[in-house]
Structure formats: structure tokens, C-alpha cells
Chain A
């Protein structure tokens, strides 16, 4: 095999999506037998870059050299054959099969379609034994912990002689002792001539395990450095967020305000002892990285997931069910627009009034003209681009779909509107329109909770900022000109709070 110094060389890589350049002229090298970390905020281009390497996306332009040779892949299987294996966040193991079956899955030797027993299995098993002897090859994979499933995948990658193993947030769902073991395995991989591309939001891990770090921001390559030359978390954070310009937030007068929502000692499978108040007319922003517990917090308040602790709304205890929450005056714009918010096969008219059918009906009978008028009113109010109330929601663009979901929730006439990632995947124009609507609602005395993994979004419109990390509320602050974004990044990436 060609022993170049760099196992991977990425040159002028570009990936365009309609309206967005997700990867913008990125060039950097990955040294052989190193642990190379990839960091950046959500939307910085990490996932896109990885998906190009694994063949899930086709690049728009640019070159990638693997072992000094031009590299291209059309699917993860081809990538693996060429020497790049990936440990996805959603692991690719088949729960119903045994460990041994999983190891050889897709690599079976066959004669006329019948499986043939070869020494391949024993070779795979011995590789896995050398990594983690406690996993028995006959064991069913569904019985293994997430960490051990990862090890099965790592073993498979090593046994198929990968030069590069990409690990996407491997520590997101495993325990601390398991993290230690994973790191030990990564060190061993490096000795076995394997290069690891390591992606994590947890900056402490980067310093512990990494040899090099590459920072991406807004699709651009900001820098690649040996970890030893990085001046602590602060420098990394500065590279990640850059000089973000936060526009237009004007602090509100701190009038005497009533608490509308009071959350006390909320805990569940994901959340740990969260308490806070949201006041009338307040825009509260909940910021944290992926997996910090934002969505889980919204779901608990809305009564979708179980919890312990107490939630008071307008002074009385909230019954944990969505229909009860809506009746009390809470509406949720869910995280997943298409699967949780929108009825894609129904028309706009079929979507808009559903959360408040009482308003367009009498004794259970719908008043068609009221229904039509309401739909027209919201099409107009939110500037939904359509030529008819009868247009199928699936035929609208992402931004307009989100406006339909928003219309649904606004029509519910809620006093508290919760928005989970309200502008994910929609274009800049629609984004600022949605911000405008949120500000106006707040002026009308409605309270708003925004759950977002985009810091600029939080800084632009929220009056108060709540920082979440690993399911607990780490800090609370008023938004103002002197809010320190580096401090915020420090806290949400797991750093100690200074207060």
C-alpha cells in the first residue's frame, strides 16, 4: 500500500444545496495514524463533509486523495471497501442477529447464494477479542449496551482493514466509564495504523484524545492545528463562533411581570432537576448543543413524555397530556416539522384550524366559511406563498410549511408558545419573517419559549437565555449587549460555570 504521510488530502471541496453552500472551498490534510478531531457549531458543515467522505452525498467540486490516490465513493459500502469506515450516531448493527453475524454482514462468502463458512468469521472474532474480550460472538446484539455495539462496529471496521475510521459523536449516548474504554480503544487503533476522524461537541474530549483539530464554521475551513498548539478551550470556541454579528436585539423594559409558567424540579430519563419561571410577554431562549435536553424539556412541559416534579401554568398544576396543555393555553411547534407538526397529505385548509376546531364549529359541526376565512387570514398574516387554500401542504417549500405549522399553533390562541428549532432548514427570508412574528406576539403579551441549537437565533430575539447541557440547566442570564458568547459556548460544551 502507498504509505503517504497524509492518509487523506481534501482540496477545494465544495458542496452546494439549493440555496445554500454547505461546504465552501474546504482544504486540509489528515495525517496518517493520528486522531483528527472535527469541530464546529451545528450547521458548520461537519456532517456534510462526512457524508461526502462516506459517499452519502456527491460533492459539487473539489478533490479528495486517499493514500495519495483520487478517491470517490457512491455509498458507505463502497467507502468501506476503499478503506473508510464510519461509526454513525445511529449505529448500523442489526439487533436481531448475533455478534458474529453482524461482523460478517455484507462481507459474507457465498457459493450460489448459500453462505459458506470460512476463516473470515474466526478472523473477525479474533480482532474483536483483541479489542474487547468480554463480548461473546454468539451473543445477540440487542442484549449489548450502546458502547458494546460501538465496539462491534469498530471491530468490523478494523477487520476489514480500514485506513480511516470516522466516529460521529461516539460518546453522545454512553456512560463515563465506557468513554474511558472507548478512548483506550482509540489509542490502540492508532498503534494499529488506523487513522480516526473524531467528531464531538464535547471540547474536553477533543483535548484528551485528539492529535489534530480542524474547525469549520459556516461551511468554511477556519483552521487545522495540532492540539498541543491550541490555547485551551477559549481559542477553540473563538474559532468556532468567530465574530458573530448579533443584530437588532433591544432589551425590553423590565416591567413588573407575572410568572406564567413555573417549572419545579423537573426530572425524567433525560432531564435533571430543572426549575425556572417564564413570565408574561417574555421570550425565553433555551440553548444547548444536540442532546442537551432541549426537545425533552419541551416535550415534558407539553405532556408528551413522563416526568417527576411539578409544572404550574397560570398558577395551577398542568395535566400531562397535549390536549390538556392546549386547553390550558400552551401550543408547541415541534422539532420535526414533517413527522410531528404537519399533515403533509392534507391541504393548507386541512392544517391551519386543527388545534382549535371549537372556534370554527358549533356543536361539533364545522362552519365551512369560518374555516376558509381563518385559513385565508393566516395565509395573509404569515405571508404563506400559495395560490389556494386547497394546496397540499407537501407541495409547499420548507419555510412555508413551517409557517403553516406556526399558523396552526397561533390559531390555538395560546398564551405560551413553545418553538422547538423553529427555523431549522428554512431560508434566510422566511427566518427573519418568523422572528418578526415572534417579536410581535411578545408585544401582544404572549410568552414564548424558543428551543434552539443556533446561538445567533437565541441572541437575536430572546429576553432571557437558559443554557442546557447534559439534561440539566447550567446557567440563566438576561440578554443584553454584554452577554459573553464565549462564556456561553464554554458552559454548553460542558465547561464549569464561573458563577
Chain B
């Protein structure tokens, strides 16, 4: 018996077969190229460099949201509250920053705080939604999908209360519109896109190189084993819910600045787009598997499909349907490929 065992031991190597994660990312890059090729044939001007750049930059907000959603999904948790948090943070930042007592119109009066303070307080509002998510998931043990669907509506509800169901866009100082509209001189690349790139790089390092990143996978792979291996699961999940809410908050601040308005129904449905790009990127809905880089590729796929559908000048209803069918097929193809590979 032991002789056999000994023979089976070869010198352990480091490389060899590609990991499942790299496989999925490469597979989705392939899907992206194929879809891009098809779009370039059928959609006029699709291949122009400016359009290709737009594919990356137009979706900056979904990619930022996707970072938080990816990490939570890797632990086996959902965050459906991100769209609501964007609306809430945007509205709060406007309300805090609007001049006080300047008009008969209630929606034109705010608290008159300096922009920096308004932003900080608005982000605090975003974090409190994250804290509520974390509290119910870790302490009360409510499934995250239920908790975050609840806070999604609560956050948007508060935004609607503050805007009386509409929006606030008057009596704002000029500084409010700067961060969202400023671009690198001579290009169309906005600060928001730079923020996205910085966060993406940070998230990539977090995922690949930090202990906290590794713990995210441990929790998703086997929560009980993670706990018995000394991972403080509740604390880690709390951190990730706060991170996701903070990223949504940053997105909310940037969008509010870009439009110079706090709109209560801003970012409707973004939570689903964020979920779709993580799934397109190969993150497992069961947890323990996936990557930020994959999510980025997923976002590009969504972007290609959306842009192509628009470029084909289809009716909005058909655009929507085409987008849905292609994304669904892409996710199916990926699951199929992974199952085949795992044998």
C-alpha cells in the first residue's frame, strides 16, 4: 500500500494546468472578442477607436459597483441595495450642500454645508445602509438577498422623502459640479473613470495579494471550515458590506455631481446590472470562486451588447430583449464550459 502511495508522489510542480479562474477569465475574453467581432460587422462605426474607448468608460459606475458586489458574491452573499444607496447618497450630498433659506420652494432649500462636509456626511449615510445590511446578515442571520432587497427600498424611500419623489437641483454652489464633469485635458476621460481605474487596481491587489482577500474566498468556499480555521466570519462580512455601500456611495456622489442634481430615481436597476456583470465574469453564485478581473471583462461584454443594440437603432423594447438574450447565453456558455472542464 505504502509503496503504491510513494510511487504516486511525483515532484509537486507549481504551474501545469491553468487554474479554473484564469480559464473562465480567458473564456469570457474570447466571448467578448466574438461579440465585438459580430457587432463590428453589423453596427456602423463600431470599430472606431473612440467607440472602443467609450465601451470602457461609459460603464464606469457599473464597474465600481461590481467590485463590492463581486467580493460579497464570492462569500456567498448578495448586495441588492447598491442602486438605492446611489440615489440616497446623491440626494443627501445635494441636500446638505444646497444653500439654506433662499427660496419659498422647499426643494430649493438645503443645509448650506461646505461641499467637502456634505460629501463626507452623505458617504456616512451610505455606510449606515451597509451597516444595517451587515447587522441583519451577521447578527440576525437573515439571508442577504432579503436584507438588501429591503434596504434597497429603504434607501430609495428616504431619497424620495428628501426630494418629495422628484429631484433637487437648484441653489447649488459651482464646486458641486466639478468632480463629476472634469476630464483629463484634451480627452473625454472623466475623473470618474480615473476613480474606477484606481479602485479596480486596488481591488485586484486586495483580491490576489492580501490576507483579507484570501479570507473572502475561504468564507465562500466553506463558511464553517473558515470559522474553525480562525476566520472571524461576521467581522469580515461586515467589512465587505461596508465596502460595497461605500463604493455605491462614491458612485452616487460622482453621478450627483455630473448631473448637478440629486434625483430620487437615479440608478434604478443598477443593482441588477452589477450582479449581471459579476455573473458574466464567472463569479459563482454559490460562493468561493470568481475574480474582479473577470467582472471587468463581464462589464465590457455588457457594454458591447448595449452599445451594439443601440447602434442597430432597434426599438428600446427590442434593445432590452437582445441584451437580455445575449447576456443569458453568455452566462450559460460559461457555466457549461466550466462544468465540462471540471469533468
Contact = CB atoms under 8 A, between A and B. Distances in A.
Contact of A323 (B8, B232, B288): B232
A354 B210 contact: no
A497 to B, nearest CB: 33
Given A344-B222, A345-B221, A366-B214, A387 B10 contact: yes
A368 B227 CA distance: 23
Contact of B222 (A327, A342, A383, A389): A342
B12 A389 contact: yes
Contacts of B229: 322, 326, 354-355, 408
Contact of B12 (A323, A339, A364, A388): A388
Interface in A137-173: none
Contact of A379 (B4, B12, B227, B231): B12
Nearest to B19: A390
Nearest to B221: A343
A385 B11 CA distance: 10
A387 B15 CA distance: 10
A340 interface: yes
Nearest to A372: B14
B230 A323 contact: yes
Given A339-B224, A345-B289, A364-B210, A355 B230 contact: yes
Given A323-B232, A372-B14, A343 B212 contact: no
B120 to A, nearest CB: 26
A429 B5 contact: yes
A332 B224 CA distance: 13
A302 interface: yes
Nearest to A326: B230
Interface in B201-243: 209-212, 214-215, 217-218, 221-222, 224-232
A365 interface: yes
B232 A343 contact: no
A334 interface: yes
A376 interface: yes
A389 B5 contact: no
Contacts of A107: none
A366 B210 contact: yes
Contacts of A326: 229-230
Interface string A246-268: 00000000000000000000000
A304 B228 contact: yes
Given A355-B230, A366-B214, A388 B16 contact: yes
Interface size class of B (residues with CB under 8 A): 35 or more
Contact of B209 (A344, A365, A376): A365
B225 to A, nearest CB: 6
A224 interface: no
B340 interface: no
Interface string A283-312: 000000000000000000010100000000
Contacts of B2: 429, 432-433
B306 to A, nearest CB: 32
Interface string B309-335: 000000000000000000000000000
B228 A334 contact: yes
B133 to A, nearest CB: 23
A494 interface: no
Contacts of A358: 211
A390 B14 contact: yes
B184 interface: no
Interface in A350-378: 350, 354-355, 357-358, 361, 364-366, 368, 372, 376
Contacts of A383: 5-6, 9
Given A354-B229, A365-B209, A390 B16 contact: yes
B141 interface: no
B1 interface: yes
A429 B3 CA distance: 9
A365 B212 CA distance: 9
Contact of A340 (B9, B20, B218, B224): B224
Contacts of B10: 387
Contacts of B104: none
A388 B10 CA distance: 9
A346 interface: yes
A140 B2 CA distance: 55
Contacts of B221: 343-346, 350
Nearest to B13: A388
Interface string B9-44: 111111111011000000000000000000000000
Contacts of A340: 222, 224-225, 228
A388 B211 contact: no
Given A302-B228, A341-B228, A357 B211 contact: yes
B243 to A, nearest CB: 15
A300 to B, nearest CB: 13
A388 B14 contact: yes
Indicate the member of A326, A341, A347, A357 with the most B CB atoms within 10 Å.
A357
A87 to B, nearest CB: 29
Interface in B140-160: none
Interface string A313-341: 00000000011011100001010000111
30 contacts: A322-B229, A323-B232, A325-B230, A326-B230, A334-B225, A339-B225, A340-B228, A343-B217, A343-B221, A343-B225, A343-B226, A344-B221, A346-B217, A350-B214, A354-B229, A354-B230, A357-B211, A357-B215, A361-B210, A366-B214, A368-B209, A372-B14, A384-B9, A385-B5, A385-B9, A388-B15, A388-B16, A389-B14, A412-B230, A429-B4
Interface of B: 1-2, 4-6, 8-17, 19-20, 209-212, 214-215, 217-218, 221-222, 224-232, 288-289
Which 3 pairs across A and B sit closest by C-beta, in order of nearness? A429-B1, A326-B230, A343-B221
Given A302-B228, A355-B229, A383-B5, 15 more contacts: A304-B227, A304-B228, A322-B227, A340-B224, A340-B228, A344-B222, A345-B221, A346-B217, A350-B217, A354-B226, A354-B231, A368-B209, A380-B12, A386-B9, A430-B5
